[in-house]
Structure 1
Amino acid sequence: MESKRQQKFASLLQQDLAAVFQRDLPHLFPGLPPGISTVRISPDLGVARIYLSSLLAGKGEEALANVQDNAKAIRQALAKRIRKQVRIIPELVFFLDDSAQYAAHMDAVLGKLNIPAETPTEDPAPDDAPTAPPRPKLFADEDE
């Protein structure tokens, strides 16, 4: 579980990285820049794991490779934005967030399941069916 400090720092990084992608370094991303779905920070605030989500289905791996190739320039642009708010600029590690694709896959799998509706079955009791055992008497004066 992340501390409040980690959560605040992650939120700051997410906002500033989005601004870096859109305003400072738009030339690095042809078309749309990747979106940042989640930022996780190590307890010492030295490493930031950034999960990128690409709205374009087939371009996720390409966008991740592009971001990883330009990680140094992204970190420098981020440092210019947050240098007066933090002591240490964290190391940026980028990952592809495939949770949306996984959710779509699970939805498709669940949609393919053929679960028949439960039909009520009435079994007529046969004449030779065993009867319930007699009820024990709890009191001596109890009538059956």
Structure 2
Amino acid sequence: MESKRQQKVARVLQKDLSEIFQRDARHLFNGAFITVTSVRISPDLSIARVYLSFLAVKNREMLLDLIREKGRSIRQQLADRVRHQLRIVPELNFYIDDTADYAAKMDALFANLDIPPAPAEEEEETQ
């Protein structure tokens, strides 16, 4: 369970990283639309796990590697934004958010289920 402080810092990081990816650093990633879906931060606020979602991207793994390579410059841009709110800017670890893929897979599984119809109420009363 995350503390209130962790939740607040995670929200600030998510907001600022979203702006960095969508405005300031978009040219670094060939115009790919990158969304920060969530941020999880360690209890000591030193490590942030950043989950990203990509649109209009053919190779997500290659883009993730590029983001990891540019991690220092992204962290520097983040530091410029949060320097008055945080004493230490956390180390950023980037991951692909696969919840949309997982949800689509679960929807497909549920759609393929063969559920027999429930017996009629009249049949239940006669038995």
**Same fold? TM cut 0.5:** yes
The corresponding residue for 1:7 is: 7
Q: Tell me how far 1:65 sits from its aligned partner.
A: 1.8
Matches within 5 A, 1:1-144: 1-56=1-56, 58-120=58-120
Per-residue displacement from partner, 1:33-92 (whole Å, max 9, x unpaired)?
310000011111100000111234744323322211211111111111111221101000
Structure 2 segments unaligned to the other structure (5+ residues): none
- Alignment RMSD (CA, Å): 2.0
The structure in which a higher percent of residues are strand is 2
Q: Percent identity?
A: 51
Report the residue type matching 1:94 in the other structure. Answer: F
The number of aligned residues is: 124
Look at both structures and tell me which one has the larger radius of gyration over its CA atoms. 1
Unaligned segments of structure 1, at least 5 residues: 126-144
Higher helix share: 2
Q: TM-score, normalised by structure 1?
A: 0.77
Distance in 2 (alpha carbons) for counterparts of 1:93 and 1:25: 17
SS of the aligned residue for 1:2 comes to: coil
